[in-house]
Amino acid sequence: MRIMLNHRILSRFHEPLTARTEGRHTWLESSHWPAARISDAINDIEVYVGSHLSAEDARRADRLGLVHVVGAGYDGIPLDALGPQVAVATTHHHGRSIAEHVLMSVMMLSRDVLNADRALRAGHWRNVAVDPELPFGTTVEGRRMGIIGFGETGTEVARLCQAVGLRIRAVRRNPSAPIPDDLRTDWIGGNDRLPDLLAESDVVVVTVPLSPETRGLIGRDELAAMRPQSLLINVSRGPVVQEEALYQALDSGTIAGAALDVWWSGPPAVPSRLPFHRLPNVLMTPHHSGHTTDTFAARAAEIADNINRLEQGRPLANVVRPSASTPA
pLDDT tens string 60-81? 999 999 999 999 889 899 999 9
Q: Residue 260: what pLDDT?
A: 98
DSSP 210: P
Other beta carbons within 10 angstroms of residue 286's beta carbon come to 13
Structure-derived torsion over alpha carbons of residues 239, 243, 247, 249, reported in degrees to the nearest 10: -70
Same domain, 45 and 115: no
Would the CA dihedral through 92, 97, 100, 105 be positive or negative?
negative
Using 50, 70 and 90 to split pLDDT, how confident is the model at 33?
A: very high
Same domain, 14 and 81: yes
Q: Residue 20: what pLDDT?
A: 92
Same domain, 117 and 249: yes
Same domain, 127 and 222: yes
Query: Taking a C-beta distance cutoff of 8 angstroms, is the pair 4, 52 a contact?
Result: no
Residue 326 lies in a domain: no
Peptide bond into 16 cis (omega under 30): no
Between CA 164 and CA 142 the distance in angstroms is 9
Q: Which of 228, 231, 218 is CA-nearest to residue 191? A: 218
Residue 113 lies in a domain: yes
Same domain, 71 and 103: no
Helices (H) and strands (E) in the chain, counts: 10, 13
Domain extent for 278: 95-284
Same domain, 112 and 249: yes
Same domain, 81 and 105: no
Same domain, 246 and 127: yes
* DSSP structure string for 265-327: S-TTS-S-SS-GGG-TTEEE--S-TT-SHHHHHHHHHHHHHHHHHHHHTPPPSSEEE--SSS-
% of the chain residues with pLDDT over 70? 99
Residue 38 lies in a domain: yes
Same domain, 77 and 106: no
Using 50, 70 and 90 to split pLDDT, how confident is the model at 266?
A: confident
Residue 235 lies in a domain: yes
Residue 328 lies in a domain: no
Q: How many domains does the chain have?
A: 2
Same domain, 187 and 142: yes
Residue 298 lies in a domain: yes
Same domain, 260 and 304: no
Between CA 215 and CA 142 the distance in angstroms is 31
Same domain, 82 and 115: no
